[in-house]
Amino acid sequence: MKKIDLYKKIEKAKVNHNAGNSSEANKIFQELLKTNNDSFDVLFAYGLFCRDLKKFNLAKRVFLNLINKFPSNISSYILLAEILRLENKFNDAGRVLKKAMQIDPNHGDLLYNFSLLYFASKDFDYALTYIDKAIKLSTDNFTYKLLKSEIYIQKFNLDEALNILERLKNKKISKDNNNEVRVKILMANAYIKKRKYEEAENILLKLIKKYKRLELAYLNLSILYRDKNQLNKSIKILKEGINLSPNYMPFYTNLACFYRNSGQLKLAIETNLFIISKNKFDFNSFHELSGMYDFKDHKDELNFLLNTKIENLNPNSKIYAAFAISNLLHKQKKFKESSKYLKIGNDESLKYRESDLNLKIKHIEFYRSIKFKDSKNKFIKNSCNYIFIVGMPRSGSTLLENILSLNPNVIDMGEVNFLEESVKETKNIEDVYDSYQKKVNNKYKSFNVYTDKNLFNYIYCPIIANFFSEAKIINCIRNPLDNILSIYRANFLNQTFSFSLPDIANLYIRYFETMQEYKNKYGENIYDYYYEDLIDNPNEIIPEIINWLDWDWNEEYLSPHKNKRNVFTASSAQIRKKFYSSSIGIWREYEELLQPAIEIIKTNKILREQIL
């Protein structure tokens, strides 16, 4: 076939594909492949076609074939790595890109894709290194600079990100509407992270006015309202988006999550079931449902999930499916089978996300080693209105905040990063209180008391004791093995130590020993709240906590399940229930699975006594 005829047929296939007639496009490609299976152009176009249809296994075979036949062409390596990245197979993608780098180490798009890979794996320092190399080769490349701004946003270098975006906007590099949208969406994201919500809202509302069907603007606006703790507005804007684009599934994913956060569990369940009805392989929704629904009226969906051959799924789906199946087997008291899937989900996660245990330990030890001058008298400010809830994740902290927020004078800030940000931003550590207070005042109305439930703030107990000297610290304590199991079952994507039982156990011991030290130093500011004691005897423990805080008593504190507040943690469904003891001592049902953690916990004498 003549080249001109070949290109015409490829173009015809592309036109059919873009028009939604994929079956006709496939027929054209199959005809071409019969007589042109050595043509780079045919194979490359067919690989892109398969990728667009999300037939990733077939697309990978096509691009591997191209690499073997045309090993010097970098594009095939890039596209193969892109698919592997989308499948969260970061190590495999890295190997492909490194092989291409040996052919052409100064290929801009190759460096750009290395940056994308590190960005996806949340290694933002390496992502920045590679995008800088790409920009050095092509200083005016719009796409490269856009990615650099996005990396800066993730690194919280927000002013640097906005400077890049302002220059891209002002230079008008392209009249392409898509480029305008990409720049403004990222500008809005940067302002959201800076908590300049008004600026972000103005950008997104203007985009919606100009591009009435711009799904991403509606989606990001819903996230903005969530960050402002205005879930009713989040839900409203998502419904507006759905009316305009009823087939845009991310709307429903966010909607289901916000229903759960706001305690509307029935609507959350219904929305996730709707998502599954549209795509039975949406295992994220299955995972969401497994935490709040037993599928008693949806046996077909339950059987589909339980009979799924997860070894055939892509890594991301495999992880969510494994956790979902484990949750449902746990509810059925099939603990041995639940253990099996729990291990599969966590082991799979560890393949693609490196544990952050060492980073956390380094952070802990740095602040343990700091020697503060005796400055309490100098820094007594109005810090009595702050309560820091600290401890390990899944230690009963959300229940505690639910109790405390029943006080009408309390603002429950949840897991804010205000203290960590203030410590990092202030050049003079003595200014940390003023920085923290400014962040609180920028986001919240003036209230008498604020609860800060960033659990890892225990690392900063010396700073709290020295510069928030009248603040209260409540240390949440739970049976170590129940706590470790609960973390291991949670699928904490942003706490990657949680995928390894030894790492969870080692961090638990480090937390426990750190808090023992801090209680000796700053005991008058710290109250130990034991989760099991509260569940066993709420009528005694809750009044004790309220008395320690020097608050007036109210019987409402005994009914935290009636609290209508928004909850954004992994406990947002469970917190709507009355006190329940079914999770106390549950570790014994998983004793075989927990053996690596048990051996580590036994190395601490005090903790060993708690589990024997």
| 3-state class (DSSP) for residue 313 | coil
| 3-state class percentages of the chain: helix first, strand second, coil last, to nearest 5 | 70, 5, 25
Instruction: Check pLDDT > 60 for residue 175.
Output: no
pLDDT attached to residue 172: 59
Q: 504: how many CB neighbours lie within 10 A of its CB?
A: 32
Query: In whole angstroms, how far apart are CA 604 and each of 78, 474, 487, 495, 511?
Result: 50, 23, 20, 24, 12
CA nearest to 255, candidates 273, 238, 240: 238
CA distance 20 to 14: 10
pLDDT attached to residue 570: 63
Q: Is the pTM of this model over 0.75?
A: yes
Per-residue confidence at 381, pLDDT binned at 50, 70, 90? low
CA nearest to 594, candidates 452, 487, 472: 487
pLDDT attached to residue 576: 62
- CB-CB contact of 378 with 468 (8 Å): no
CA distance 106 to 528: 57
- CB-CB contact of 504 with 488 (8 Å): yes
Per-residue confidence at 54, pLDDT binned at 50, 70, 90? confident
CA nearest to 531, candidates 392, 331, 419, 414: 392
CA nearest to 415, candidates 495, 503, 521: 495
SS (H, E, C) 26-37: HHHHHHHHHHCC
Between 541 and 609, where is the model more confident?
A: 541
Per-residue confidence at 298, pLDDT binned at 50, 70, 90? very high
537: left (phi over 0), alpha (psi -120 to 50) or beta: beta
* Strand-pair category, 449-452 with 386-391: parallel
CA nearest to 253, candidates 225, 287, 224: 287
pLDDT attached to residue 63: 94
Return the structure tokens found at 185: 């969406």
Query: In whole angstroms, how far apart are CA 241 and each of 157, 197, 224, 422?
Result: 31, 20, 15, 36
Per-residue confidence at 1, pLDDT binned at 50, 70, 90? low
Percent of residues, the chain, with pLDDT higher than 70: 95
pLDDT attached to residue 486: 96
Most confident of 43-47, 50-54, 55-59, 145-149: 145-149
Instruction: Check pLDDT > 80 for residue 377.
Output: no
Which of 18-22, 203-207, 574-578 bottoms out in mean pLDDT, i.e. has the lowest?
A: 574-578
Instruction: Check pLDDT > 90 for residue 304.
Output: yes
The DSSP code sequence of 441-485 is: HHHS---SEEEE--GGGGGGHHHHHHHSTT-EEEEEE--HHHHHH
Instruction: Check pLDDT > 50 for residue 611.
Output: yes
Instruction: Check pLDDT > 80 for residue 424.
Output: yes
pLDDT attached to residue 106: 94
pLDDT attached to residue 14: 86
Region 445-462 average pLDDT:
92
Per-residue confidence at 383, pLDDT binned at 50, 70, 90? low
pLDDT attached to residue 442: 85
CA nearest to 479, candidates 471, 487, 490: 487
pLDDT attached to residue 509: 97
Q: Please, what are the domains in the chain?
A: 358-611 (3.40.50.300)
The distance of Cα 169 from the centroid of its chain, to the nearest Å, equals: 29
Region 471-490 average pLDDT:
96
Query: What is the spatial order of strands in the sheet that 526-530 belongs to?
Result: 410-414, 449-452, 386-391, 472-477, 526-530
Between 597 and 42, where is the model more confident?
A: 597
| 3-state class (DSSP) for residue 9 | helix
Region 536-556 average pLDDT:
94
User: Of all helices (H) and strands (E), which one includes residue 149?
Assistant: helix 142-154
Between 121 and 388, where is the model more confident?
A: 388
Instruction: Check pLDDT > 60 for residue 379.
Output: no
Mean pLDDT taken over the chain: 91
CA nearest to 569, candidates 133, 261, 201: 261
Instruction: Check pLDDT > 80 for residue 171.
Output: no
Query: In whole angstroms, how far apart are CA 285 and each of 86, 269, 316?
Result: 19, 9, 13
- CB-CB contact of 323 with 570 (8 Å): no
Return the structure tokens found at 584: 């106390």
Instruction: Check pLDDT > 80 for residue 558.
Output: yes
Instruction: Please enumerate in sequence order all residues whose Cβ is within 8 A of that of 138, keeping only pairs 6 or more positions apart, or say none.
Output: 108, 144
Region 341-366 average pLDDT:
93
Please report, to the nearest 10 degrees, the dihedral formed by the alpha carbons of residues 557, 562, 567, 569 taken in order.
Answer: 80
Please report, to the nearest 10 degrees, the dihedral formed by the alpha carbons of residues 220, 226, 230, 234 taken in order.
Answer: 40
Region 126-145 average pLDDT:
95
Region 604-608 average pLDDT:
90
